[in-house]
Structure 1
Amino acid sequence: MKLNRSTKRRTVLAAAVAIAALTLTACGGTASDAGAAGEIKKLNIIVPANPGGGWDQTGRSMQADLTANKQVGSASVQNIGGAGGTNGLAKLATEKDPNTLMVMGYVMVGSVETNKSASRIEDTTPIARLTEEPLVLVVPASSPYQSIDDLVTDIKTKGKGVAITGGSAGGADHILIGQILKAQGIAADSLNYIGYSGGGESLAALLGNKVQAGISGVGEYAEQVKAGKVRALAVSGPVEAPALPGIKPLKDQGIDVVLTNWRGVVAPGSIDETQTKKLTEMVTKLNESEAWATTLKDNNWDNAFLAGAEFDSFLTEDITKVKTTLTEIGLIK
């Protein structure tokens, strides 16, 4: 039940999604209206972060939509913050309830490496990748920085005198600023990065002018930008983000960096194939529901759904890529 599991395991996971689709077709229904009520009476959702960030938003959105769709009888959310999500990962490793999902993503892949976590993503059961979104780099409204070039130039001059906040160390936010500095020829040891396990804490530091800049998902900062509380300098995707029209991507501002943050869910590594199939079908139906489509739109999240063997393969490749990136920008050796 790990990422290096056998071809048989991959086949079973792929079959779970296929069976779900065939069953719905045979019944003449859609994923959003299929009768899944009662299959899972109570779902436990672990959010490995404090309230207020993207993982918390994802977990609570799943909780609301799964119960609204009557796919589960009830769903609870448990926040376990700290260590870039690896505290939550450690909790999942000992979880005995098979009806458990943990929200995770790109941030955790990096945090496992930077925190030298004993609990590994490879030891979980991959269920699905759900969403992805670009990041946005912002500064307080009163900041003298009017462009990404202004910020980078000041870091060149002051080094650690310029503090950047974002999510936990080794996560997408940390990697992004590391890649920006590397692309501009600035040494990794010039970076003063202050990471928080919850989006609310990093936002408070930014609004309180305790740091010079912040990085987070577009969905977490868009309203603050629109309200004029912070100023966006750049987004990290390949194109402008619909939620922040007019804010140019880094690559269009002379910085050759593109990065999007993905989120997904995994289950305990101890669950069997029947339990894996049940959870995979449940999340597949959620992804195809009208409620989830609305959630994606409301949060400015892009649908990046992958399940079963495809998500398994994606995770294996992403872990390798993140290790390489963290080494290149000096975050791990």
Structure 2
Amino acid sequence: MKGIVLAGAAVLLTLTAACSGQAASDGGGSWKPRGDVRMIVPFGAGGGSDLAGRAMATALEKSKPGLKVNVENREGGSGAVGYSALLAKKGDGNYLLATENAILSLPLSGQASFTRKDFTPVAKLAEDGAVMVVKKDAPFTTCSDVIDAAKSGRVSVGMSGAFGVDSVIFTMIEQKTGVKFQRVPFESGGELVPAVLGGQIQVALLNPGEVIGQLRSGDLKGLCVTTDKRYTYPEFAALGTAKEQGIDVSYVQFRGFLAPGGLDERERAYWEEAARGIPRTAEFQKWLKDNYLQQAELYGAEFGAYLEQLDTALAPVLKKSS
């Protein structure tokens, strides 16, 4: 009778473990998601963050056969709505978020109660520079021309989020040159191209992948790039850097993903291992090429250290602008 009771208890424990939570583990203590995973994109469809989130979701599925990652756009608050959604999933390894510089700029600007420390850094996979663009008939041929115009008059600039990477770069330019721009915020980079074409704004900073079509067609023209060195991609090689044009500013946007805070080591290990497989997929390499990105990998604690260093560097810039 005693043996029967113990066996029954063992079955009960097994059933309880199998039915609880969002994740499954095998007898060896490994972990894997239970059911579909949700990749939150904290900006609207069509922009660089959306393209990045969808590319990483697809590459994760290829890296981990059987894994299903659904993308959900949770736009609003210059990214704060999406990050807050992940914040509410603390301890749930079935959620991820396509992250970029807003994870740092939002808290530093006082626009969010969370910080980078509330999330689990999984992977930084690429870097994305910015191109300053204007309408084809605009009276500017370089970024220096834009600065000169802003010194003597009004120049309207668009930003994909009031506290996004565009805002940081424009703030850096203002601090270095003494000009002031008229800022017009939008929710995503996908909204900036029609805004420039329609004359709602004069100038925008866009990731190369967001604007290559309009540059090829001639509807928009590029003035400079905000990377430290010129692009090696032929389509952008002729564009000088802001530094070459006398504007001592360089800044790139990183692309990667986070998991919620409060994960255990098995969950952390699963996602880091999955992330390391992403660059080996054809889908990831196609995304890099199609969107003119530079591959730049950091995982786990190294990605966390990178965020800390960038946080320190951004603090004086964003505190002056807030």
TM-score, normalised on structure 2? 0.84
**5+ unaligned residues in a row in structure 1: which ranges?**
1-37
- The 1:40–1:290 alpha-carbon spacing in structure 2 relative to 1, beyond 3 Å, is farther
CA distance in 2, matches of 1:73, 1:308: 20
Structure 1 residues 70-108: Cα deviation after superposition (integer angstroms, max 9, x where no partner): 534311001011122111111111126412110111133
- Shift in Å, 1:45: 0.2
- Shift in Å, 1:308: 1.3
In structure 1, the partner of 2:72 is 78
- SS of 1:254's partner is coil
CA distance in 1, matches of 2:106, 2:195: 21
Tell whether the 8 Å contact from 1:39 to 1:72 is kept in structure 2 after alignment: no
Residue type at the aligned position of 2:226:
S
Q: Does 2:236 correspond to 1:244?
A: yes
In structure 1, the partner of 2:197 is 207
CA distance in 2, matches of 1:72, 1:184: 53
In structure 1, the partner of 2:108 is 113
Q: Does 2:276 correspond to 1:284?
A: yes
Q: Does 2:34 correspond to 1:44?
A: no
Paired residue for 1:176, among 169, 174, 182?
A: 169
Residue type at the aligned position of 1:177:
F
Q: Does 2:184 correspond to 1:194?
A: yes
Tell whether the 8 Å contact from 2:171 to 2:317 is kept in structure 1 after alignment: no
CA distance in 2, matches of 1:72, 1:173: 37
Paired residue for 2:135, among 114, 118, 140?
A: 140
TM-score, normalised on structure 1? 0.82
- SS of 2:129's partner is strand
Tell whether the 8 Å contact from 1:195 to 1:202 is kept in structure 2 after alignment: no
CA distance in 2, matches of 1:108, 1:126: 11
Paired residue for 1:226, among 216, 219, 236?
A: 216
Structure-to-structure mapping, 1:155-166, within 5 angstroms: 155-158=150-153, 161-166=154-159
Structure-to-structure mapping, 1:250-329, within 5 angstroms: 250-327=242-319
CA distance in 1, matches of 2:65, 2:306: 27
- SS of 2:243's partner is helix
Structure-to-structure mapping, 1:87-102, within 5 angstroms: 87-95=81-89, 97-102=92-97
CA distance in 2, matches of 1:83, 1:210: 21
In structure 2, the partner of 1:6 is none
- Shift in Å, 1:331: 1.3
Paired residue for 1:151, among 137, 143, 146?
A: 146
Tell whether the 8 Å contact from 2:96 to 2:259 is kept in structure 1 after alignment: yes
- SS of 1:306's partner is strand
In structure 1, the partner of 2:15 is none
Q: Percent identity?
A: 28
**5+ unaligned residues in a row in structure 2: which ranges?**
1-31
- The 1:98–1:39 alpha-carbon spacing in structure 2 relative to 1, beyond 3 Å, is closer
Residue type at the aligned position of 1:179:
M
In structure 2, the partner of 1:59 is 53
- SS of 1:316's partner is helix
- SS of 1:252's partner is coil
- SS of 1:240's partner is coil
- Shift in Å, 1:287: 2.3
Tell whether the 8 Å contact from 1:40 to 1:71 is kept in structure 2 after alignment: no
Structure-to-structure mapping, 1:28-39, within 5 angstroms: none
- The 1:104–1:39 alpha-carbon spacing in structure 2 relative to 1, beyond 3 Å, is closer
Q: Indicate the larger mover: 73-82 or 59-68.
A: 59-68
- Shift in Å, 1:41: 4.6
Quick check: which has more Rg, 1 or 2?
Answer: 2
CA distance in 2, matches of 1:144, 1:182: 24
- SS of 2:277's partner is helix
- The 1:309–1:325 alpha-carbon spacing in structure 2 relative to 1, beyond 3 Å, is same
- Shift in Å, 1:193: 1.4
- The 1:45–1:178 alpha-carbon spacing in structure 2 relative to 1, beyond 3 Å, is same
Structure 1 residues 135-154: Cα deviation after superposition (integer angstroms, max 9, x where no partner): 11000112112222221111
CA distance in 2, matches of 1:71, 1:299: 25
CA distance in 2, matches of 1:314, 1:214: 27
In structure 1, the partner of 2:178 is 185
Aligned residues: 289
Tell whether the 8 Å contact from 1:65 to 1:292 is kept in structure 2 after alignment: yes
Tell whether the 8 Å contact from 2:144 to 2:246 is kept in structure 1 after alignment: no
CA distance in 2, matches of 1:84, 1:130: 22
CA distance in 2, matches of 1:104, 1:81: 13
- SS of 1:226's partner is helix
